[in-house]
Amino acid sequence: MSLTDRLGGKRPALSVARKLIRRCYHTLRELGEDAWSTTGTTLQQAA
């Protein structure tokens, strides 16, 4: 069974998912620890 047969219509979706993951990874890497502290602060203020 070839790769095309196995993935079918999922191939474009996987490509988009990989692209999003790369963007998120680089953004989070640039933010460093601030990415996690900001999330925690936001959650505490909302509660």
**Sequence ranges of the domains in the chain:** 3-46
| Mean pLDDT for the stretch of residues 12-40 | 83
Q: Tell whether pTM > 0.75.
A: no
Query: Which residue is it, tokens 């196995």?
Result: 6
Higher pLDDT: 10 or 17? It is 17
32: helix, strand or coil:
coil
* Dist CA 23 CA 27 (whole Å): 6
Higher pLDDT: 45 or 23? It is 23
43: pLDDT strictly greater than 70: no
Q: Using CB atoms within 10 A of its CB, is residue 18 exposed (0-12), middle (13-18) or buried (19+)?
A: exposed
| Mean pLDDT for the stretch of residues 13-38 | 85
According to the model, what pLDDT value does residue 47 have?
A: 52
**Contact predicate 22/29, CB 8 Å:** no
